[in-house]
Amino acid sequence: MNKGFQQELNTLLKNDAWLANMLKIELTETSTIDNANEVIAVMKHYKKLGIVFSLDDYGTRHASLEYLKKLPLDELKIDQSFMVNSTTDEDSKAIIIHAREIAQQLGLTTTAEGIESQEVLALAQEYKLDYGQGYYFSPAITAKNLEGYIQKHGLNAAMFIQDTKKVDQCLE
């Protein structure tokens, strides 16, 4: 994990420790491979403070099942390439189902990236993925526009896919 980022995070948490319970740090597969033992130690430290960790773009890089087992993760984000292709590609469907099953066995939530249509949302619901994100819900939102978005849609805009037929909104 980047030392400069850690310093900024430590300063933020020193001044406002309550923020830890509101933070989620997304790691890419490649960011954890080069110095896995150091990353794991840092993650464990921040998890004790309440920060949640997610493995982003799962299935597109070099992560092995060994990393999934060792990393103190909370969430597995299934890459958009699998979600978008799952409407026509049986191999993508198989990978999504397999990733969900692994995540469940490891006690992780799942997020489907790249939900851009009702059809892909329906598949995410069918696969019983926990969360979804993509342009179907909302385009990416700048920090400047976030306050207005929250006022319009509510702070808890992300909904469980499996518990609702219509997902209202989800931040990208």
Domain that holds residue 108: 3-153
Is residue 158 in some structural domain?
Answer: no
The pLDDT score that the predictor gives to residue 73 is 94
- Domain tally, the chain: 1
Is residue 171 in some structural domain?
Answer: no
Is residue 16 in some structural domain?
Answer: yes
State the alpha helices, DSSP H only, in the chain.
Answer: 3-15, 29-33, 36-49, 65-70, 80-85, 90-105, 118-126, 143-153
CA distance 92 to 82: 5
CA trace torsion 115, 2, 9, 56 (10° rounding): 20
Is residue 80 in some structural domain?
Answer: yes
- 3-class SS at 26? strand
Sheet holding 75-78, edge to edge: 24-28, 52-58, 75-78, 109-112, 131-132
Is residue 65 in some structural domain?
Answer: yes
What is the CATH number for 75? 3.20.20.450
The pLDDT score that the predictor gives to residue 159 is 37
The pLDDT score that the predictor gives to residue 61 is 66
Is residue 70 in some structural domain?
Answer: yes
φ, ψ of residue 27 in degrees (nearest 5) = -105, 145
Exposed / middle / buried, residue 7 (Cβ in 10 Å: 0-12, 13-18, 19+): exposed
CA distance 140 to 97: 27
Mention every residue, 6+ apart, whose C-beta is less than 8 A from residue 29: 55, 56, 57, 58, 60, 61, 62, 63, 67
Is residue 35 in some structural domain?
Answer: yes
DSSP state of 63: -
pLDDT (tens digit per residue) in 48-77: 999 999 988 787 766 667 778 889 999 999
Is residue 159 in some structural domain?
Answer: no
- Do 102 and 55 meet the contact criterion of CB atoms below 8 Å apart? no
pTM of the full structure = 0.78
pLDDT (tens digit per residue) in 116-153: 888 888 889 989 999 888 888 777 777 777 777 777 76
